[in-house]
Amino acid sequence: MPFLSSSFPNLFSSLVLGPLILTNRIVSTGHDTSMAQNGTVTDAMIAYHTARARGGVGLIVTQAIGVHETARYTNHVLMGTDEHAVAGFRRLAEAVHSEGVPLIGQLFHPGREMTESLDGSAPVAYAPSVAPSERFHVIPRSMPLSLIEEILASYGSTAARLEQAGLDGVEIAASHGYLPAQFLSPQINRRGDAYGGSLENRMRFLKEAIAAVRTATGPGFAVGLRISSDERLDEGLGQAGALPAILSVQDDLDYVSLVEGSSAANGAAIHIVPPMYYDSGYTAASAAAIKQAVSLPVLVTGRINQPQEAEALIAAGSADLCGMTRAMICDPKMPSKAREGRLDDIRACIACNQACIGHFHLGHPISCIQYPESGREQLYGTLTPAARPKKVMVVGGGPGGMKAAAVAAARGHKATLFEAQAQLGGQARLAQLLPHRSEFGGIVTNLSRELELAGVEVRTKTRVDRQVVSAEAPDAIILATGSRPLTPLAFEDDGEGQVVEACQILRNEANVGSSVVVADWTCNWVGMGIAELLAEKGCHVRLAVNGVFAGQALQSYVRDANIGRLHALGVEVITYARLFGRDAESVYLQHTVNGEAIVIEGVDTLVLSLGREPETALADDLASFPGELLSVGDCVMARTCEEAVLEGLRAAWTL
């Protein structure tokens, strides 16, 4: 491909970062992959970072590396506390360096932000003072002076091990309300010794941590700082707290990495990995204000999804580098595609948070619902040509069928995709109609491009039956026929009151009136989205969820952002609620724990969001098909786009 970096003159210009020279300004910032085992680097982690290095990123920062035993905030944290860690980090550095990319390790201590221990018991959390963490309901103990000194020394010893392993530098994590930020905060740090009280004393921990790293490493080793430019907390560190800290240590740093948010409260934590409800690059304004005041190269992160956005931020002087981590989880080759001018080929992140941070919060290796190859590089990282090309029918043009057809064709099969509707996309086309979720439609755009690049023949408005299969005579069939709304099994309805499905609301097929109950069994985007949509139109909405809270099935940042909007709109949320029945004016619910009745009167419309059941008619009809017959996605069992796309990938690999 031609060299077209002139389309992005700033993004693909080199940058001196202390002792390092970066070839471009795109950074894979520190993010937990959940791929560490026993605190050490694994082959899966190496394969993951190598894919991004090969894809053309300018700099990679590892996930958080615990500097002390008290830093084990999850049971899959990466640790740098002893010599046994060096060998794994050396292998990681060698793999990333083989692609010409520098590697920086992130030095980490969570302080009070502890979530779990290795054995499931509650861990001991330490902070500068006894200051509760609202989000995790942790009340830490105040750090003894001896422990402060021990942890400060461990910053230096961990950095020395990483330098020994061949890494190019370290980044001290003072972001998101973690330990160095806790020392900076006058609300959290109420110590009366040399590490508390005055601003100078509160900055002492950070200064001494940096000094310990500098003392333990050589002059060719880069040192950076990650800090929240605004913690988004009423009593947190805003620019008034972050800027003085940066200015006090900038002479000892090679760069500063700016983020927003804090782990300490639900609302502030949303900004750690902001979902699609936030504008692209929304953190640039606070970063620009700090950049004007400091003499360091500034890296900014916050929903920067596309190279055009990164180029604009750098050109405007808001930052010198852009963290584009989720963009490269979704498309590891994004930098090289941008450099070559292949912008239409970039698979854009839609910030759904489902398989990236969502997997991490569940303790699973991170991935992407659009690109399940991410995090599975050892299995699917290198496309393997088919041993024998086959004629493949893929039936169903939702995300699962689209992925199956694209991968099958890319492997050399003659794949044809059949879709009964006029457009591809399946339920994703409805999902994008929910409030603040228009970007979800990007999965259809991205998969359509994959179909085009792979050379898949697409036949829309074509319903497949046994006769069509006989006429096509395929060697293999992949069924992705989807699902339909689930019919309630035990639901008393006298037929007098209006009852509609959620999909009818999205298609504008119902006049709901002014008083609505949304019965939400799935506890996902749909019920919450329908409730928000109707509340925005002025309806009095009661959201009755069959769960302990609304959005129970969602990644927490997505859920909490939704809940905040529902509260502002006055939506009433009824939890532990099982749908029982409906008559002309009332909806009857049952408490799922004690069985008591919950009666809601004066209801114009009941909206059902009760889940879906597989469409299996064609699979049943083709049970005797002599070739390979595979089913993927909702026609196996109704779930989400993530499972459909992953199963489409797996099916295409088996052919």
**Residues tagged active-site:** 178
The SS3 call for residue 449 is helix
- The DSSP call for residue 279 is P
Other CB atoms within a 10 A radius of the CB of residue 3 amount to 9
In this structure, what token pair is assigned to residue 591?
A: 């408490």
Scan for tokens 């932000």, then name that residue.
113
Q: What is the strand order of the sheet 605-609 is part of?
A: 498-501, 605-609, 515-520, 540-545, 572-574
The SS3 call for residue 600 is strand
Distance CA 576, CA 270 (A): 25
Confirm if 560 and 552 have CB atoms less than 8 A apart: no
Contacts by 210-215, CB closer than 8 A, 24 or more apart: 210/172, 210/249, 210/252, 210/253, 211/252, 212/152, 212/153, 212/155, 212/156, 212/159, 213/107, 213/155, 213/156, 213/159, 213/170, 213/172, 214/252, 215/156
Distance CA 424, CA 418 (A): 9
Distance CA 81, CA 596 (A): 54
DSSP β-bridge partners for residue 492: 581
Distance CA 207, CA 202 (A): 10
**What is the dihedral sign for C-alpha 300, 355, 427, 481?**
positive
The SS3 call for residue 89 is helix
In this structure, what token pair is assigned to residue 272?
A: 């750690």
Other CB atoms within a 10 A radius of the CB of residue 98 amount to 11
Other CB atoms within a 10 A radius of the CB of residue 91 amount to 17
In this structure, what token pair is assigned to residue 632?
A: 């993927």
Confirm if 301 and 283 have CB atoms less than 8 A apart: yes
Confirm if 257 and 171 have CB atoms less than 8 A apart: yes
Side chain identity at residue 48, one-letter code: Y
In this structure, what token pair is assigned to residue 213?
A: 């790293």
In this structure, what token pair is assigned to residue 581?
A: 């029945």
Distance CA 492, CA 574 (A): 20
Distance CA 308, CA 338 (A): 9
Distance CA 199, CA 294 (A): 19
Strands 597-600, 587-591: parallel, antiparallel or unpaired by DSSP?
antiparallel
DSSP β-bridge partners for residue 459: 418
Going from the C-alpha of 625 to that of each of 115, 464, 621, the distances in angstroms are 51, 14, 9
In this structure, what token pair is assigned to residue 326?
A: 């989720």
